[in-house]
Structure 1
Amino acid sequence: MCIVLLSTAHPKYALIAIDNRDEYVLRPTSRPYWWTHHPSGNKILSARDLHRRERGTWLGVSKNGRFAVLTNYRESSLDDPDHAICGVRSRGSMVTGWLGADAGVSLDQFVKTMLEDRMVKGVGGFSLICGDLKAKAKNGTDPLAIISNRWDHPGEVPWVAGERGKTYGLSNTVYVEPETWPKIKIGKRLMEETIQEVVDKDLDEDELTERLFAVLDHDTLPVEPNMTMQQHMDALRYSVYIKAFGEEQEWKDMEEAREQGKGKEPFDEIEDEAEVEEHQRTEPTVNFMKGAYGTQRQTLILLDWDGNVTYKERALWDAHGNPVERGKGDKVIKYKIEE
């Protein structure tokens, strides 16, 4: 039950984006690194899903300033029988669809192509926030689009973050204003309060990032004794942060993974495409929907007015199901958007 929060409220930044990836802890996932999208040649910075053959991602940026983040839908087929909640294509390929698009493709064109050419079909339900950070750094008013395969034509697409002083939230449901899910309301309020405090006290970027991670760590998950996996899943919309949970079998899976991971490096530090391909050949195909479920990764993206991007990912679990102390699993990459 992921959440992404966006804000244009800090005067020193054209955009701030923060994200919790809630997932099965044992789902194989790389750390963020620069990789080349083929055939466009675009340089993309993201972590990658090593389970699906598309090796997509839920969040990323590109060297030329594109940004995209995806959330899927929690609704069941009974909630919306006309739209699938899973598909033969990975939703992660929707993110790379924008990040890897040719340089001449505008955001307007991408939105129209995705919906009018039915590029959003064949995947499970999703919302994709995407936009051009280069344009936003120049004038601050270029909006981001929220594409969904719940929309039937471009006129339904919401456009956000085109105004200064605003904060927006999206989780595993359709984007609406005013928001209805408690976790989105909580997240927006906390982010607004955090940014206001940072501005009032003139705190630096390191202090800002730690306070933003505290927003992502905010836990109001209603937990009762002997809750089933499904009851936990139904409660996820009430908390920004999801403490890992599971039933007896899930925790047995976690212990087995830890035993198998003894003596191994905590993460597969993949740095290029060849290593991704090698991982695909050497790692057995497993059912990743096992083990505990919870917030697996946390990511911050800061864009200043000079086009400088700070990308910081915090891993909360290693590749073998061991918890990682806050800050010990951080990876920070900074770069300037190419002209």
Structure 2
Amino acid sequence: MCIAYLSLGHPGWPVLIAANRDEFHARPAKAAGPWPGRPDVIAGQDLSAGGTWLGWAAGGRFALLTNYREPGRPTPPGAPSRGTLVRDYLLGSDSAADYSQAVAAHASDWAGFNLIAGDARQVCYLGNRDPSGRSRALVPGRYVLSNHLLDTPWPKARRLREALDALPPERWTQDPDQVFDLLHDTTAAHATELPDTGLPHAMEQLLSSPFIISPDYGTRCSTLIAIRADGAALFSEQSYDAAGQPTERHDWRPCA
């Protein structure tokens, strides 16, 4: 994932997630679906390193990951794929707090990441570039995460948050296309608003919209997860080609 919105703690809809995954188009991946041998897990698959970026598992467990943008900083020698952090939580049984604390104990093994893991009862955030060095439980509220720390107010993060804050929770499952339309926002930030992450100006501009289109790198898919208070859930994913045009669309209504 490269941008994700979360709404936590609504009485009728305790978990709402809307996210875009940005990646090189040449990197092989499998669209979201039930995993072979583990049909209780729904997630995409990175076919290069075996992990995933976002997924849902029976019991209402979910996790998502974004990379922390830090050009020029070398990856730790022998670093595991960051996608294994989401994969291992979905396949395991540890609570979000226990899992996040265990990862935090050796978080420097990975390149920069942000991890959100949880269920309808508890959600935890861990960023291994967070100065606190600790995971923390998220209180009810609305959050946005891109390629910096949680709730860093980059222009793209502010745009997406404002748009999804205005959409009533029940609309997410009644008309998921409304969520995908808001995620498909190609509005770039004004030059004066761009963050300075060490990338060339043209690249900062390209990456400044919630939905990214370019021949080599861009938004590969948009995903919606909605968990209702009674445990009913919706997992919906729309895939896109390099021109930003929709391709595969899949919807599941698993029982949490």
> TM bucket by the smaller chain?
0.7 to 0.9
Q: Secondary structure at the match of 2:116?
A: strand
Offset of 1:222 from its aligned partner? 5.2
Counterpart in the other structure of 2:185: 218
Counterpart in the other structure of 1:32: 32
Counterpart in the other structure of 2:40: 43
Counterpart in the other structure of 1:254: none
Offset of 1:244 from its aligned partner? 1.9
Residue 171 (structure 1) aligned with residue 90 (structure 2):
no
Residue 106 (structure 1) aligned with residue 95 (structure 2):
yes
Describe the superposition over 1:124-159 as per-residue Cα deviations: whole angstroms up to 9, x where unpaired. 110001002xxx2xxxxx3411112224776x3343
Which residue of 48, 51, 55 corresponds with 1:56?
51
Counterpart in the other structure of 2:153: 180
Counterpart in the other structure of 2:208: 238
Q: 1:183 to 1:153 in 2, by over 3 A?
A: closer
Report if the CA contact (8 A) 2:41-2:57 is conserved: yes
Q: 1:121 to 1:315 in 2, by over 3 A?
A: same
Offset of 1:100 from its aligned partner? 1.7
Offset of 1:60 from its aligned partner? 0.6
Report if the CA contact (8 A) 2:97-2:137 is conserved: no
Q: Greater CA radius of gyration, 1 or 2?
A: 1
Q: Give the Cα–Cα distance (whole angstroms) in 1 for the partners of residues 83 and 212 of structure 2.
A: 21
Q: Give the Cα–Cα distance (whole angstroms) in 1 for the partners of residues 233 and 77 of structure 2.
A: 33
Offset of 1:88 from its aligned partner? 3.2
Counterpart in the other structure of 1:157: 135
Offset of 1:214 from its aligned partner? 1.4
Report if the CA contact (8 A) 1:86-1:125 is conserved: no
Describe the superposition over 1:51-79 as per-residue Cα deviations: whole angstroms up to 9, x where unpaired. 22xx10000111232100000011224xx
Q: Give the Cα–Cα distance (whole angstroms) in 2 for the partners of residues 94 and 221 of structure 1.
A: 30
Q: 1:293 to 1:87 in 2, by over 3 A?
A: farther
Q: Give the Cα–Cα distance (whole angstroms) in 2 for the partners of residues 130 and 222 of structure 1.
A: 29
Q: Secondary structure at the match of 1:98?
A: helix
Residue 92 (structure 1) aligned with residue 121 (structure 2):
no
Q: Give the Cα–Cα distance (whole angstroms) in 1 for the partners of residues 220 and 214 of structure 2.
A: 9
Counterpart in the other structure of 1:336: 255
Which residue of 303, 306, 311 corresponds with 2:230?
306
Q: 1:75 to 1:90 in 2, by over 3 A?
A: same
Offset of 1:243 from its aligned partner? 1.9
Offset of 1:308 from its aligned partner? 1.4
* Structure with greater strand share of residues: 2
Q: Secondary structure at the match of 2:29?
A: coil
Counterpart in the other structure of 1:131: 118
Matched letter for residue 89 of structure 1: P
Q: Percent identity?
A: 28
Q: 1:315 to 1:109 in 2, by over 3 A?
A: same
Describe the superposition over 1:293-323 as per-residue Cα deviations: whole angstroms up to 9, x where unpaired. 1111110111111111111110112xxx5x5
Q: Secondary structure at the match of 2:100?
A: helix
Q: Secondary structure at the match of 1:336?
A: coil
Q: Give the Cα–Cα distance (whole angstroms) in 2 for the partners of residues 68 and 148 of structure 1.
A: 13
Q: Secondary structure at the match of 2:71?
A: coil
Number of aligned residue pairs: give it: 249
Counterpart in the other structure of 2:123: 144
Matched letter for residue 98 of structure 1: Y
